[in-house]
């Protein structure tokens, strides 16, 4: 049972303590116990994803001892496995979102109805457990009442996702036990250091020292102030290299509008930047300060990551963690640990600033409460949206596509039936694209958008888009013209996301261009950026609509305005995540021109 002095908001701390002091399966059970007692449920079950068998297996269970009565249901669950989409665990896995079942007896997708009825269980809630952006398990909570968790209860449960993820990882042996334990030790030590009553500067120094030892290299903490990004803490596991990193050149703040500096980009976009491996050429391409470049070469960097320090969408700074050992790799769990470390730093920075004056602290608490309520409302709205998208749209959509495909196969020579099934499949694909747009828009707004960047020839990316759309434009007699440079134009980009931007812009151009018209794609270097233009000879856009074309859900007044109205909003978010900008100009009756920029490798 939770100690009397531990409140629901402290569950994360007690969970991390259990992970560090108990065996893995016992720690997971302790986390379930605390969640059950704090949120008022009767029974909890944790499942882990067996990737080889591609099923969910029971890891641990916990039943409130003051409300016993579900031993059969608990025993049945421990013996069962669930495939993708099967039962409540499999359904939550497939939806990738929180799932509610208000009446288990009448829920056709709930396969343990008999055992639940014997135990008197009536309602359930389940949520997926993520690690590094992937689902690795599911947590379920049951009650004898029609228990629909309110926002604080749901927040209590969701706050335990990260500890459950680490616990399940240890149970499954998916990561090296020593590394997981070191990560848990880091977070516990950092929590203790930041919770100290000392001044912020020595606390940050302790964090940097501990993080440098964990990463096997160095740690830099930059915080924003009136002068820019100020280096406030630095350390290296090697004292001699730590002294190098404390030279005056390392304390110079980069221009926050720089397209060259990864630090400036991370602070500006709020998106983590991971470097699985580094090279001297990569360092030279990202550093304008020759002295600082010499220092980084001297300390040696084999891999690293930069994580934004943010709170409620407000940029506070950035955390840099870089390895100096050749055998140190950056794993998905490392990124999650770094993000948790950055979250703790954000809380410490805000607390320190709030403590500067009693009046300022009172105002900060009021603002925090307001933002917390707003964030909880946003979480509820987002969960509702994801539940609708995943359950009420995506699952029936899968059934429609499977049924239409089967009908098409059985129709054989019946052209009329084949035509109808083809129409159904096209409509279902369009609905699936709309669902993906909704999910992308949600990630952009909440700062959850991640990029997988690599060195790409932008010219080849644009050519791929041209080759894709030429056959689609031919039936309308639309000519696609291209103006591409002869020489490669390299940039660090997420190829699929850049293609997604082009898919949207070129698709819109073809849709609004009349038969026999022209769509032109142009790529050229413009200063330190690559500029990509998409122009059409369509009807153009009204001048009063131009300021709103990148707004969420915006539709121009046209009989061709279909879809979610999210395409240009997503395109804008994807371009900004790359550190670029997107623009539009148009003259009614002549056509429209969209263009966006991407920072060029080695520019500046």
Q: What's the pLDDT tens digit per position in 386-404? A: 556 655 666 777 778 788 7
In a domain, 263, yes or no: yes
By residue range, what is the domain housing residue 270? Answer: 199-330
Q: Is the pLDDT score of 558 beyond 60?
A: no
pTM of the model: 0.38
Q: Is the pLDDT score of 66 beyond 90?
A: no
Same domain, 471 and 439: no
Sheet order of strands, 43-50 included: 81-82, 55-63, 43-50, 134-143, 123-131, 99-101
In a domain, 255, yes or no: yes
Give the domain CATH number at 228: 3.30.450.40
Same domain, 459 and 441: no
Highest-scoring range by mean pLDDT, 146-155, 372-381, 582-591: 582-591
Q: How far apart are the C-alpha atoms of 57 and 50, rounded to whole Å? A: 7
Cβ atoms 121, 43 nearer than 8 A: yes
What percent helix, strand, coil does the chain show, rounded to 5? 50, 20, 30
Identify the CA nearest to 7 among candidates 35, 38, 53, 29. Answer: 38
Confidence of residue 1 (pLDDT cuts 50, 70, 90): very low
Same domain, 19 and 156: yes
In a domain, 193, yes or no: no
In a domain, 585, yes or no: yes
More confident call, 198 vs 466: 466
Q: Is the pLDDT score of 585 beyond 50?
A: yes
Q: Is the pLDDT score of 57 beyond 70?
A: yes
DSSP string for 42-74: SEEEEEEEETTTTEEEEEEEEE-TTS---HHHH
Other C-beta atoms within 10 Å of 505: how many?
Answer: 27
The pLDDT value given to residue 93:
93
More confident call, 298 vs 181: 298
The pLDDT value given to residue 470:
92
* Least confident piece of the model among 243-252, 425-434, 535-544: 425-434
Question: Where does a domain end: 178, 207, 235?
Answer: 178
The pLDDT value given to residue 425:
79
Give the domain CATH number at 378: 1.10.287.130
More confident call, 157 vs 518: 518
Same domain, 401 and 368: yes
Same domain, 508 and 366: no
Please state, in angstroms and as integers, the Cα–Cα distance from residue 29 to each residue in 15, 35, 63, 154, following that order: 10, 10, 10, 19
Point out which residues pair with 66 in neighbouring strands.
none
Same domain, 44 and 159: yes
Q: How far apart are the C-alpha atoms of 265 and 43, rounded to whole Å? A: 45
The tokens describing 509, both together, are 């151009």
Same domain, 162 and 207: no
The pLDDT value given to residue 28:
92
Cβ atoms 203, 348 nearer than 8 A: yes
The pLDDT value given to residue 4:
44
Other C-beta atoms within 10 Å of 486: how many?
Answer: 5
In a domain, 425, yes or no: yes
The tokens describing 261, both together, are 């500096």
Confidence of residue 562 (pLDDT cuts 50, 70, 90): low
Same domain, 21 and 98: yes
Q: Is the pLDDT score of 88 beyond 60?
A: yes
Highest-scoring range by mean pLDDT, 66-80, 349-363, 451-465, 554-568: 451-465
Q: How far apart are the C-alpha atoms of 356 and 364, rounded to whole Å? A: 11
In this prediction, residues 278-307 reach a mean pLDDT of: 87
Of all residues in the chain, what percent carry a pLDDT higher than 70?
Answer: 90
In this prediction, residues 583-601 reach a mean pLDDT of: 92
As for how many domains the chain has, the answer is: 4
In a domain, 550, yes or no: yes
Question: Where does a domain end: 304, 330, 356?
Answer: 330
Same domain, 386 and 500: no
Burial class of 318 by CB neighbour count within 10 A (0 to 12, 13 to 18, 19+)? buried
The pLDDT value given to residue 191:
81
The pLDDT value given to residue 504:
92
Same domain, 25 and 169: yes
* Least confident piece of the model among 35-44, 130-139, 193-202, 541-550: 193-202
> Tokens 């644009």 map to which residue?
462
In this prediction, residues 509-522 reach a mean pLDDT of: 94
Please state, in angstroms and as integers, the Cα–Cα distance from residue 432 to each residue in 1, 136, 408, 436, following that order: 45, 24, 20, 6
Q: Is the pLDDT score of 170 beyond 50?
A: yes
DSSP state, 331? -
The tokens describing 49, both together, are 């994803």
Same domain, 404 and 271: no
First to last CA, the chain: 59
In a domain, 341, yes or no: no
Cβ atoms 461, 427 nearer than 8 A: no
Same domain, 111 and 126: yes
Q: How many CA atoms lie within 13 A of 175 on its CB side?
A: 23
Give the domain CATH number at 589: 3.30.565.10
Question: Where does a domain end: 418, 447, 476?
Answer: 447
In a domain, 170, yes or no: yes
Cβ atoms 434, 564 nearer than 8 A: yes
Q: How far apart are the C-alpha atoms of 144 and 205, rounded to whole Å? A: 50
DSSP string for 482-525: EE--SS--EEEE-HHHHHHHHHHHHHHHHHHSPTT-EEEEEEEE
Q: How far apart are the C-alpha atoms of 479 and 242, rounded to whole Å? A: 60
Point out which residues pair with 305 in neighbouring strands.
274, 321
Q: How far apart are the C-alpha atoms of 257 and 271, rounded to whole Å? A: 15
């Amino acid at each position: 049972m939770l100690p009397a002095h531990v409140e629901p908001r402290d569950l994360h701390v007690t969970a991390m303590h259990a992970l560090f002091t108990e065996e893995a399966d016992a720690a997971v059970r302790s986390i379930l116990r605390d969640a059950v007692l704090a949120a008022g449920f009767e029974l909890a079950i944790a499942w882990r994803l067996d990737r080889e068998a591609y099923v969910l297996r029971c890891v641990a269970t916990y039943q409130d001892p003051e409300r016993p009565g579900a031993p059969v249901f608990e025993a049945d669950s421990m013996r069962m496995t669930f495939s993708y989409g099967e039962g409540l665990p499999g359904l939550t896995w497939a939806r990738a979102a929180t799932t509610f079942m208000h009446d288990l007896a009448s829920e056709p997708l709930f396969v343990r109805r008999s055992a639940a009825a014997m135990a008197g269980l009536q309602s359930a809630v389940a949520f997926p457990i993520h690690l590094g952006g992937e689902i690795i398990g599911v947590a379920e909570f049951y009650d004898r009442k029609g228990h629909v968790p309110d926002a604080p209860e749901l927040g209590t449960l969701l706050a335990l996702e990260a500890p459950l993820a680490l616990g399940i990882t240890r149970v499954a042996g998916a990561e090296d036990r020593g590394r997981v334990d070191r990560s848990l030790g880091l977070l516990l030590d950092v929590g203790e250091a930041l919770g100290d009553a000392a001044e912020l500067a020595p606390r940050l120094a302790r964090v940097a020292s501990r993080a440098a030892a964990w990463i096997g290299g160095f740690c830099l903490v930059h915080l924003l102030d009136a002068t820019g990004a100020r280096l406030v803490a630095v350390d290296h596991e090697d004292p001699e290299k730590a002294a190098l990193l404390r030279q005056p050149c390392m304390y110079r703040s980069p221009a926050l509008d720089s397209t060259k500096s990864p630090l400036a980009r991370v602070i500006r976009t709020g998106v983590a930047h991971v470097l699985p491996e580094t090279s001297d050429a990569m360092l030279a391409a990202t550093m304008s300060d020759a002295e600082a470049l010499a220092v980084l070469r001297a300390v040696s960097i084999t891999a690293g990551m930069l994580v934004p320090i943010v709170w409620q969408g407000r940029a506070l700074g950035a955390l840099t963690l870089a390895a100096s050992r050749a055998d140190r790799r950056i794993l998905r769990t490392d990124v999650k640990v770094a993000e948790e470390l950055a979250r703790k730093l954000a809380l410490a920075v805000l607390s320190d600033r709030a403590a500067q004056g009693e009046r300022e602290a009172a105002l900060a608490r009021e603002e925090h409460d307001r933002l917390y309520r707003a964030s909880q409302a946003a979480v509820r709205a987002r969960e509702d949206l994801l539940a609708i998208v995943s359950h009420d749209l995506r699952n029936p959509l899968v059934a429609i596509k499977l049924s239409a495909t089967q009908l098409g196969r059985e129709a054989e020579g019946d052209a009329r039936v084949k035509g109808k099934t083809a129409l159904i499949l096209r409509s279902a694909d369009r609905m699936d694209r709309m669902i993906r747009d909704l999910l992308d828009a949600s990630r952009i707004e909440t700062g959850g958008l991640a990029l997988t960047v690599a060195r790409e020839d932008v010219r080849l990316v644009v050519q791929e888009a041209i080759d894709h759309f030429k056959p689609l434009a031919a039936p309308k007699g639309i000519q696609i013209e291209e103006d591409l440079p002869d020489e490669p134009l390299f940039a660090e980009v997420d190829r699929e996301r850049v293609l997604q931007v082009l898919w949207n812009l070129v698709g819109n151009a073809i849709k609004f261009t009349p038969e026999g018209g022209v769509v032109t794609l142009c790529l050229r270097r413009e200063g330190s950026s690559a500029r990509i233009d998409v122009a059409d000879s369509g009807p153009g856009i009204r001048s009063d609509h131009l300021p709103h074309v990148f707004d969420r859900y915006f539709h121009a007044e046209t009989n061709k305005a279909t879809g979610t109205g999210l395409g240009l909003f997503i395109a804008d978010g994807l371009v900004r995540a790359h550190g670029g900008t997107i623009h539009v100009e148009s003259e009614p009756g002549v056509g429209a021109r969209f263009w966006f920029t991407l920072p060029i490798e080695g520019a500046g």
